Copies of this chain bind each other. A is one copy, B any other.
Amino acid sequence: MTVELHPVEGIGEITRGADLGAVIAQACAASPMGLREGDVLVVTQKIVSKAEGALELIDPDDPLSHKPLVERESRRILRRRGDLIISETKHGFVCANAGIDLSNVERGYAALLPDDSDRSAYRIRARIAALSGFTVGVIISDTFGRPWRRGVTDVAIGCAGIAAVVDLKGTADALGRELMVTEVCVADEIAAAADLVCGKARGVPVAIARGIDQSWLRRSSVRTEIVREPAEDLFR
């Protein structure tokens, strides 16, 4: 088995109310690799926020004008250092600045995270199925930092039709012993892989992951499978 990541070019600028599933289906159909049954589409958060109108006016000359939004979108501040706020968002994600950012957004606006990225993924997936006839998985990805390790990576903030976490419990390792580590966050691994071809500077907002283990294509959500409850977390 081989996994391929293909950038989907030609998406163009997305504005409020855009029919994102249709835009993506059309761009895939026009691309050399096309779309196929069992593909997983990775859609970066920014175009989802734009299509859903999750934008707020800010003062473009004040570099801190989005900070009140960060407080509003957070249900718990975990750390502050200088201008940096690490918080738990209302969705349960822990990230910098409540996932709000200004890059790849028109001057004078800040993009918030989608209200419910699992539902966003579900809608895009349904629209693509209706238009193309293909059953695909959809992951909404965003770029998060993490403690202990430098650099950011892309992770899944929403998904539909693709497992967020795959449980290998009961699976034997190559020597026939039961595996100790059993829950693999494949949605985050797919999101990270997609960033290798999208890239923050390239402005390609969607990638196709082809060759993903077809047993992972099932009903799922980031909220129920990835978001860890504060009570079971050792670092909150």
A residues at B contact (CB < 8 Å): 1-7, 33, 79, 81, 86, 93-94, 101-107, 143, 146-155, 164-165, 168, 171-175, 177-181, 183-186, 188-190, 192-193, 195-197, 199-203, 209, 211-213, 225-228, 233-236
Contact = CB atoms under 8 A, between A and B. Distances in A.
A171 B203 CA distance: 11
Contacts of A188: 149, 151, 153, 192
Interface centre among A150, A193, A195, A197 (most CB of B within 10 A): A150
A147 B94 contact: yes
A114 to B, nearest CB: 18
21 contacts: A2-B6, A3-B193, A93-B148, A103-B177, A103-B178, A105-B175, A143-B181, A147-B147, A147-B235, A147-B236, A148-B235, A149-B227, A150-B226, A152-B184, A168-B200, A173-B203, A174-B202, A184-B195, A184-B199, A189-B196, A192-B192
Contacts of A101: 180-181
A236 B148 contact: yes
A80 B235 CA distance: 11
A228 B3 contact: no
Ranked nearest first, the 9 interchain pairs of A and B with the lowest CB-CB distance are: A174-B203, A151-B185, A193-B193, A147-B235, A192-B192, A94-B148, A189-B192, A151-B165, A171-B201
A42 to B, nearest CB: 11
A6 to B, nearest CB: 5
Say what secondary structure dominates the interface of chain A: loop
Contacts of A103: 173, 177-181
Given A146-B146, A189-B193, A183 B234 contact: no
Contacts of A201: 168, 171-173, 179
A153 B178 CA distance: 19
B193 A5 contact: yes
A197 B148 contact: no
A137 to B, nearest CB: 13
Contacts of A107: 177
A191 B137 CA distance: 22
A11 B59 CA distance: 58
A34 to B, nearest CB: 13
